[in-house]
Amino acid sequence: MKFVSVFILSVFIFLLNASEINSPANIFVSGNNKFVMPVLLKSFYRKYPDAKVLIQYGSTGDLTDAILNEVNYDILLGADMQYAQKIYDAKKALNPPKEYARGSLILFIPADKTLHQKKIKVLKNKKIKHITIANKKTAPYGKASIEALQNSGMLESVKDKIRYSTDVSTVITNVMWYDDAGFLSKSAVNSLPIGYRKEGVNWIEIDQSLYKPIIQGYVISQNGSKNINSTRFIEFLLSKEGREIYKAYGYK
C-alpha cells in the first residue's frame, strides 16, 4: 500500500513538472519589436509547430514595473539593457541581461523631397506642428530621440512641438493623418504603407553619433529557464536565422 502511494505521488509530481515545462512561454516584448516579431514567430512556429508562445507588448519601463510588482513572466525582450538589469538586480531573472539586437532610430515625416538634405533640421519647418516621440521615461527609443534632438542642437527650437505616446502605431498615424513628424525604430520601415517608405523623402536614419547605442537586452526568469517553449524561443532568437530576420528589419 505504501509502495502504491509513493508511486501515485511520483506520477503526480511528474505530471505537474511536465505541465510546467510545456506551459506557454509568457514573453514580455518592448514595443519596437512589434514589426519584426510576427515575422520571427512565423519562422519559429515553422521550426517548432508544437510550440506555445504568448506575447505581451508594452514599453520596456512599464513591462519592467509589472515584473517588479510580481507579475509572472518567462522572458523579457527589452529595448535596452538597463531595465533588464533592474530585473536581474531584483533577483527576478536567472542571469544578467544579454544582448539580442541593436536598434537604429529614424525620423518619419510627411513626404518632403528636401529631407535627405535638411535631415533632422527639417523639424524646424512650420508646417510640422507636432513631433511624436515614445515616452522618454519608459521607452529607450523615446530617450534616444530626445538625445538626438539635444545633441543636434535642435531641442530648444522644437521642444514645444513634442508630444509623447506609449504606442508606436500612434506615431505612424500622426504622420500619415495629421502631417506631424515622429521618431521610430528603423524596424518600422517595412510595416509602413508602400507609399510612405521612400528613404530621403518619407524617412531618414538618424546619425548614430547623436544618441547612445540602443543595445537591446533580454532576461529569462527561473521558471522560464525550465520551460521548453521559452528555451526554444531564445535559442531561435539568437540563431543565424533569427538574427537574419532582425537584420532585415533594420537591427544590427
b/e per residue, 4-13, with b = 16+ CB within 10 A?
Answer: eeeeeeeeee
Contact indicator for 103, 32 with CB cutoff of 8 Å: yes
CB 118 within 8 A of CB 152: no
pTM for this model (two decimals): 0.85
Spatial distance between the Cα atoms of 234 and 232, rounded to a whole number of angstroms: 6
Helices (H), the chain: 2-21, 37-47, 60-68, 82-89, 115-118, 140-151, 155-158, 168-178, 228-237, 240-248
Rounded to whole angstroms, the Cα distance separating 213 from 113 reads 28
Q: How would you write the pLDDT of the chain (252 residues) with one tens digit per residue?
A: 444 444 444 444 444 444 456 799 999 999 999 999 999 999 999 999 999 999 999 999 999 999 999 999 999 999 999 999 999 999 999 999 999 999 999 999 999 999 999 999 999 999 999 999 999 888 999 999 999 999 999 999 999 999 998 788 888 899 989 989 999 999 999 888 889 999 999 999 999 999 999 999 999 999 999 999 999 999 999 999 999 999 999 998
The answer to whether the beta carbons of residues 82 and 235 sit under 8 Å apart is no
**Residue 220 backbone zone (phi > 0: left; psi -120 to 50: alpha; other: beta):** beta
* Lookup: cell for 32: 519596437
Could you give all domains of the chain from N- to C-terminal order, each with its CATH number?
Answer: 2-102+214-248 (3.40.190.10), 105-205 (3.40.190.10)
The C-alpha atoms of residue 206 and residue 105 are separated, in whole angstroms, by 6
- Taking only the tens place, the pLDDT of each residue in 14-24 is 444 444 567 99
